[in-house]
Chains A and B, each alone.
Chain A
Amino acid sequence: MTDTNKSLKEVQDEIIEEFRMYDDWMDRYNYLIELSKDLPLIDEKFKNNEYLINGCQSKVWLNAGFDESKGVIRLSADSDAIITKGIIALLIRVLSNRKPEEIMNADLYFIDEIGLRQNLSPTRSNGLLAMLKQIKLYALAYHSKMTKS
């Protein structure tokens, strides 16, 4: 999974590099399908309405736990659509195991670079944009909890 030694920028550049190999859209989608298979499944207990981010097009379940010893957020998620799941795998690879502050301020430029921006547009309603917002909200919540304590 995520190598926390790498910076946000390094992981994103790595992904951009990986996608550079695929000029064809179908190859990119095939790669996302492969990535979706690698996504560690979210614990079944989180796959309920409480953790559901309902998009009109596809569903996303998200859990964000806080590892207090390391001060990092651990993300797990799933979707009923495979391509959505593949993109989730990328988002988790970039954002999981990072400090709340880092997630709050993350500039996710890789999405544009690999041509997946339309998948995170408000009109697409596949749950991904809502998922990103939710991740940032979790980060904000854990951040304020940390600074208070």
Chain B
Amino acid sequence: MQKEIKKGNKNIIPAKSHITLKFNIEKVRKDFPILNQMVYNKPLVYLDNGATTQKPLVVIEGINRFHSTLNSSIHRGVHFLSEQATVEYEEARETVQKFLNAEHSHEIIFTSGTTGSINGVAYSFGEKYLNEGDEIILTEMEHHANIVPWQMVCERKKAKLKVLPFDDSGTLMIEKLNQLITEKTRMIAVVYVSNSLGTVNPVQEIIKKAHERAIPVLVDGAQAVQHLPIDVQQLDCDFFAFSGHKVYGPTGIGVLYAKEKWLDELPPFQGGGDMVDVVTFAKTTYNKLPFKFEAGTTNYIGAIGLNEALLYISELGIENIAAHEKELLSYATQKIENSGGITLYGKAKHKTSILSFLINGIHQYDAGMVLDKMGIAVRTGTHCTQPVMQHYHIDGTIRASIGLYNTREDIDLLCEGIERTKQMFL
């Protein structure tokens, strides 16, 4: 069975596979000190992993070790600390390269997060390639971070946004893509995993279709990297963005992967120190990749933390994590649906880790308040995807999002919380 899990074929994993998984959940939970606490005298049930994930000890201690022994500005000094710090920073880049299976380590740009990565691409790509009347295709389930930067550049360049819709199950209507693509389409930007519906989109198919018409594709991988094995060469995406803090790393660090040819062609999105070759008041030439895109003192502490996080989850095995989360999601979906009086949003065939729902007749904010006091951390509201809420004509949902350390007990406590909420308000 282990062999089957390795292949990543999640359909053949039996329902109780969590017991036989490679990683021991009790042991794994001990790696996350924050989980072992009481809130309002109740054991913490953390189901807000879609917003941010908790950090394993290796990340916390790795950052501490770096601050305590190596802190120094990278790529600058000739001294010992600076050199060592630079080595570790560049090792982090190589870890990301391996994690995404990118061809070159200089295709990995450290940014502030997914939002920073997408804004950077939208700005630079827009400056170079967008003209009046050009079109960019997004999907209806994008996070605001993959809508607003494109809207901003479209306004500047008088270009147009076009939207690929999803159906009520939360599945992209991929068959409509062909009619949306025109000779004016310059970019397709698509979310890999929807943060409010959990849908895993067929990005590979979209990329293939786009490339047939020589259109580049940006993949928002913010909710994908922590749940699915990613291979950017196999996907053949042109750009891929993700955040450190959603993949068990620190906040303020993120990644932009881009194919070498794009990084060569695109202008830098920020100017400053380290990204330059020669600066005179007449002209500046830029540094080589990846430094051309990393202006100023980068968040090297964040990169060190991200390195630890990616090594940690690689050791657990992303396929094992995926299998564990898949089993939990199916357990949770079944249990919540059986409890009655619940409307589930996002019932796509390919889903991961996210349960978005409303308790019929109860405002999501009221439910969130009661769950909070039961020690259960969920998110309520629009989850930065207002168009998704507009699709269903609702103001928001309750979102429980599963991480690698969640257990069936967490789901059971969530369901108890839902029942308690019903008793209070209905």
Residues on A lying within 8 angstroms of B by beta carbon are: 25-26, 29-30, 33, 56-59, 80-84, 126
Contacts and interface: CB of A to CB of B under 8 A. Distances in A.
B392 interface: no
Contact of A58 (B365, B370, B420): B365
A58 B380 CA distance: 10
A82 B373 contact: no
Given A26-B373, A29-B424, A81 B381 contact: no
Given A33-B425, A56-B382, A126 B365 contact: yes
A82 B420 CA distance: 15
Given A26-B373, A29-B369, A29-B370, A80 B395 contact: yes
B40 interface: yes
A94 to B, nearest CB: 21
B299 to A, nearest CB: 24
Given A56-B381, A57-B396, A82-B425, A25 B40 contact: yes
A30 B382 CA distance: 26
B424 A26 contact: yes
Given A29-B370, A30-B424, A33-B425, A83 B40 contact: no
Given A29-B369, A29-B373, A33-B424, 13 more contacts: A25-B373, A26-B370, A26-B424, A29-B370, A29-B424, A57-B365, A57-B396, A59-B395, A80-B395, A81-B366, A82-B362, A82-B363, A83-B366
A80 B424 CA distance: 16
Interface of B: 40, 362-366, 368-370, 373, 380-382, 395-396, 420, 424-425
Contact of A81 (B363, B373, B420, B424): B363
Contacts of A81: 363, 365-366
Contacts of A33: 424-425
Nearest to A126: B365
Given A26-B424, A30-B424, A33-B425, A83 B365 contact: yes
A127 to B, nearest CB: 10
Contacts of B364: 57
A56 B366 CA distance: 13
A145 B396 CA distance: 40
Contacts of A82: 362-363, 366, 425
Contacts of B424: 26, 29-30, 33
B373 A57 contact: no
Contacts of A25: 40, 373
24 contacts: A25-B40, A25-B373, A26-B370, A26-B373, A29-B369, A29-B373, A30-B424, A33-B424, A33-B425, A56-B382, A57-B364, A57-B365, A57-B368, A57-B380, A57-B396, A58-B363, A81-B365, A82-B363, A82-B366, A82-B425, A83-B365, A83-B369, A84-B365, A84-B366
B48 to A, nearest CB: 14
Nearest to A79: B363
Contacts of B40: 25
A1 B425 CA distance: 24
Contacts of B396: 57
Contacts of B368: 57
A26 B41 CA distance: 13
A58 B382 CA distance: 11
Nearest to A58: B365
Q: Which 7 A-B pairs have the closest CB atoms?
A: A25-B373, A81-B363, A81-B365, A58-B365, A57-B365, A82-B366, A81-B366
A83 B380 CA distance: 14
Contacts of A59: 395
A39 to B, nearest CB: 15
Contacts of B420: 26
Contacts of B366: 81-84
Contacts of A56: 381-382
Candidate in B40, B363, B368 with the most chain A CB atoms within 10 angstroms:
B363
Nearest to A30: B424
B404 to A, nearest CB: 27
A126 B396 CA distance: 12
Contacts of B373: 25-26, 29
Nearest to B396: A57
B271 to A, nearest CB: 33
A26 B376 CA distance: 14
A25 B369 CA distance: 10
A35 to B, nearest CB: 14
B143 to A, nearest CB: 15
B228 to A, nearest CB: 30
A92 B267 CA distance: 57
Nearest to B382: A56
A111 to B, nearest CB: 15
Nearest to A127: B365
A30 B366 CA distance: 11
Contacts of A57: 364-365, 368, 380-381, 396
A58 B368 CA distance: 12
A138 to B, nearest CB: 25
Contacts of B395: 59, 80
